Structure 1
């Protein structure tokens, strides 16, 4: 028998075992930078180049990004957990003391990020209590080689423990 419903806390607990990268989605709303931390970010298509992310419908930042129509997905490095927490908090001036430069879409490219994926919003789909945002990629950039990613696992920020050997690559 298939259960009628899965309890949200149980669902979160089980899906939390899947480690994800951490991304800060940014946009420039007029002259004000805005940003939010997301874990649901993925490549979607190579031809055409598409990405997706899934902001909560309760987000106060997502409507601003949507209105702008373009964004930068900043893939965070292992030493950027404080930045991820600041952008997730949703209070105060999240960009105070944050170094960034405008990318080709105008969206902030955060200093120290592992990579930057700039895109325009192509489509927004219903995803339950989240929206599924499809972005058409306009520019990409990679950070310094050898930089490790920031991960999120079981409700906490995490880092990779072991460096890969040259033979494993």
Structure 2
């Protein structure tokens, strides 16, 4: 797993000190929980039900699934760090859709209704031809 925290992030300082982190995959309907973790608050876990993973990282009770990782490598990335984690434990996956955030909005992974207009994207027209690279 890879993530890129801001270099001065309090959360990143805690993770770096402990050497472990847990990636919690949120389920559909967890919009408010996502916003709460995206805000700069002192205690992001205040009022959130969680339990420790085998290595002690927080697993959110209603997470769709989770992956517990140990910090494997840290690389400089300007005002961010590039953190590479080795997956140590995986949680079971609940039967629900994932929370998606795309183009500034929360979205559903459910297929569109049959009446929805189909969008066709021709990626061949969007990319330069091979001869343009030579």
Taking structure 2 as the reference length, the TM-score comes to: 0.75
The verdict on how the C-alpha distance between 1:129 and 1:159 changes in structure 2, with shifts beyond 3 A counting, is farther
1:142 is paired with a residue of what secondary structure? coil
- Check the 8 A contact 2:20/2:71 in 1, yes or no: yes
User: Which of 28, 36, 40 is matched with 1:78 structurally?
Assistant: 28
Q: Distance in 2 between matches of 1:156 and 1:66?
A: 31
Q: Distance in 2 between matches of 1:114 and 1:107?
A: 16
Q: Distance in 2 between matches of 1:158 and 1:58?
A: 30
1:159 matches 2:108? yes
Q: Distance in 2 between matches of 1:151 and 1:56?
A: 22
Matched pairs, number: 112
- CA shift, 1:55, in A, is 1.0
- Check the 8 A contact 1:112/1:143 in 2, yes or no: no
The verdict on how the C-alpha distance between 1:64 and 1:84 changes in structure 2, with shifts beyond 3 A counting, is same
Deviations 1:21-44 (A, max 9, x none): xxxxxxxxxxxxxxxxxxxxxxxx
- CA shift, 1:96, in A, is 2.5
1:135 matches 2:85? yes
Q: Superposition RMSD on alpha carbons, in Å? A: 1.6
Which piece of structure 1 moves more, 133-142 or 89-98? 89-98
Which piece of structure 1 moves more, 153-162 or 61-70? 153-162
- Unpaired stretches in structure 2, ≥5 consecutive residues: 113-134
Q: Distance in 2 between matches of 1:94 and 1:131?
A: 20
Structure 2 partner of 1:94: 44
Could you say which structure has the higher strand fraction? 1
- Check the 8 A contact 1:55/1:62 in 2, yes or no: yes
Q: Distance in 2 between matches of 1:139 and 1:97?
A: 25
Q: Distance in 2 between matches of 1:93 and 1:125?
A: 26
Taking structure 1 as the reference length, the TM-score comes to: 0.61
